[in-house]
Structure 1
Amino acid sequence: MRLRSFGLALIVLATACTTAPGTTASPTAAPSVDIKRGKLDIAYSAFVDLDVHRVSSKKALTAALDGIRAEVKATNGKDDVPTPDFDDVQEPVIAEFKKFEKAAQALAVKNPQLTADRIADAAIASMITASPDCHTVYRGKDGKLYRSRPESVSGTRGQPPAGGTSIAPGTDEVGLAAKVTTEGIGYVTFREFLKSGTYDVTAQVKKSLDAMLAVGAKAWLFDLRGNNGGDPPQTMTSWFLNGEPIMKIELKNGAGGTVTAKTDLRLPQSYQLPLAVLLNGAGGSSPEVFTLGLKENKRATVVGQKSTGCLGATSETNMSDGSLLLVVVQEFVGAQTGTRYNNTGIPPDVTADDAAAVSVASKLLLDQIAKGK
């Protein structure tokens, strides 16, 4: 699953070290053994300073040291270096990092079989697991990806039902497929919320809705199973709301505001048909944000299985050697209920496996049509 930020009050961290108020950056005295000290300092400072879950310095540094120990054990080395007595503080502190540095140096001296890059990768990859989140990821300079939260993907991509009137064949950049089923359900699926210099999925989906409405669509079924995310989806959500709050933003230090549907983006009444969204564990991020506001405002019924649970935004730290650290700095929560869906997923209103999801959702929509909802 591609990780994307939504650009909502997005914080971008410079590659310089972030420190707690009243402190200065750690000195750069040459160590006796190279452990990529500066890189580790930057990663530690960024992670502890920005993590929305408020990971402690002690937890982060202990995990980093454990990561080096695990690498030592994997090479049959010597890991008999005690863990320092770290203070349990909520910000990056130079003195605490120095404790870690001393222990890491001791391990490096005892284990010359480990390169400095390997030590740094092991430390950072383990450190971020101290606060697991789908957004928090480290990519080493060799391109290898380390996730703080194991990625569990289950389910298939959306598959258009047979029959009906085809509107979009599913052959464009995002596999956009749209059709009006034989029962009159306007079905649409695509694999990415893509907006580039040559393609805008929001515009293309709107064209498909226009065409489906013209041939008699009586309800909408958005099949977002296996959708990888991408561009912010709030425009699409606003199509079906009327100024209601879409979601609240939570920051490390408290509330970060509310994202509200734009009334000028609401589609005309002829488009305000019964609506269902299909989700499963094979997709997340933008499709979850699209669904969040509709579910919270009871505008759509969610059918299928629990989604991945990746609702937030990241800060990006680029290292001088080409490696990259992403740290979650925002969580998106339900604006009406305050429910936290990040790292837990959006549960369906109606459970259905992938094989039955389209038929279950279609029956639900047909029942709503019959009742005049």
Structure 2
Amino acid sequence: MLSRAEVDVLLLGGDGETIDLTVQRRNDPGPTAQRLVLSGQSLPVVSGALVEHAGRKFAHVRIRAFRAGVADSVRNSLKELRRSAGAAGLGGVVLDVRGNPGGDVGEAVLIADTFVGEGVLVRTRGRGGQILREERATQAATDDATKVVVLQDHRSASASELLAIALQDHGRAKVVGERSYGKGTVQDVIGLDDGSVLTLTIARYFSPKDRLIDGLGVEPDVAVADMATQPEAALRAALTAL
């Protein structure tokens, strides 16, 4: 078993170099080979664009990870897209978290709070189901009118799932795509004297309606097949759902 540091070293490389991996996913009968091509060009964490569908303009906001400042970036992107849409306004918003592995849960909560005016957005429960923490929506600057869709796939995990299920539970968004990954735990990482790391699960995340995320994922309202090979079809399905 390799340590995290050893794995990081093995994954280092220059622009254009390839890395061959053998990946074993929990639902697959056997391992699969994956080849990664390293690139020095990084994609923006948040990107927004106006897309037209059925005679209306929609905001397509792609969120690739949840890092500090992402919620502000999403809000600024939506503000700019509304301005660009003109007098007709936006027909709706697609929050695209396909392939998003998660990150800062607080940023996902802030984005959910943009569209939900009151109530619990996410809660954590510890041993015996005891509620350890609840994050609640605020009324300030809430957009409770714009139609919203969350577009996800089987790689959408953690904070991505918390955003999707919070909006789904409050009836503020339809979830379109595949069942998400199912990563909803709070973990404590402890460094040991021999250089190894002990990771302990100390709590689990639950949705506003007390639905468990870990191991189950978020079930879409509108299922889309072949998302990996037909990404544009998935976006069209999200726009149609609006």
User: How does the TM-score come out when normalised to structure 1?
Assistant: 0.50
Structure 1 residues 151 and 319: CA distance shift in structure 2, 3 A: farther
- The share of aligned pairs that are identical, in percent, is 20
Would you say the 8 A contact 1:276–1:301 is kept in 2?
A: yes
Distance in 2 (CA, whole Å) between partners of 1:257 and 1:326 is: 19
The one of 94, 110, 114 equivalent to 1:239 is 114
Q: Is the aligned partner of 1:140 residue 2:9?
A: no
Distance in 2 (CA, whole Å) between partners of 1:236 and 1:281 is: 21
Matched position secondary structure for 1:188: strand
Q: Which string of whole-angstrom CA distances, capped at 9 and with x for unpartnered residues, describes residues 265-290 of structure 1?
A: 44356xx3100001111120111111
Aligned residue for 1:360? Answer: 237
Matched position secondary structure for 2:52: coil
Taking the TM superposition and a 5 Å limit, the aligned residue runs for 1:303-342 are 303-336=176-209, 338-342=210-214
Larger Rg: 1
- AA paired with 1:346? V
Aligned residue for 1:347? Answer: 219
The one of 78, 96, 104 equivalent to 1:209 is 78
Would you say the 8 A contact 1:174–1:194 is kept in 2?
A: no
Q: Which string of whole-angstrom CA distances, capped at 9 and with x for unpartnered residues, describes residues 174-206 of structure 1?
A: 4422111123110011211111xxxx2221111
Would you say the 8 A contact 1:241–1:261 is kept in 2?
A: no
- AA paired with 1:177? S
Matched position secondary structure for 2:218: coil
Distance in 2 (CA, whole Å) between partners of 1:153 and 1:226 is: 17
Taking the TM superposition and a 5 Å limit, the aligned residue runs for 1:272-291 are 272-291=145-164
1:263 to partner: Cα distance: 1.3
Distance in 1 (CA, whole Å) between partners of 2:94 and 2:221 is: 14
Matched position secondary structure for 2:6: coil
Would you say the 8 A contact 2:120–2:208 is kept in 1?
A: yes
Structure 1 residues 219 and 172: CA distance shift in structure 2, 3 A: farther
1:315 to partner: Cα distance: 1.2
User: How does the TM-score come out when normalised to structure 2?
Assistant: 0.75
Would you say the 8 A contact 1:312–1:332 is kept in 2?
A: yes
Distance in 2 (CA, whole Å) between partners of 1:253 and 1:175 is: 37
Q: Name the structure with the higher strand share.
A: 2
Structure 1 residues 182 and 193: CA distance shift in structure 2, 3 A: same
Structure 1 residues 253 and 306: CA distance shift in structure 2, 3 A: same
Taking the TM superposition and a 5 Å limit, the aligned residue runs for 1:196-275 are 200-216=69-85, 217-232=90-105, 233-257=108-132, 259-268=134-143, 272-275=145-148
Higher RCO, Cα 8 Å, sep 6+: 1
Q: Which string of whole-angstrom CA distances, capped at 9 and with x for unpartnered residues, describes residues 102-134 of structure 1?
A: xxxxxxxxxxxxxxxxxxx6xxxxxxxxxxxxx
Matched position secondary structure for 1:192: coil
Q: Name the structure with the higher helix share.
A: 1
1:153 to partner: Cα distance: 9.1
Q: How many residues align?
A: 201
User: Tell me, which stretches of 5 or more residues in structure 1 are unaligned?
Assistant: 1-120, 122-138, 155-170, 366-373
Aligned residue for 2:48? Answer: 178
Matched position secondary structure for 1:287: helix
Would you say the 8 A contact 2:120–2:137 is kept in 1?
A: no
Matched position secondary structure for 2:206: strand
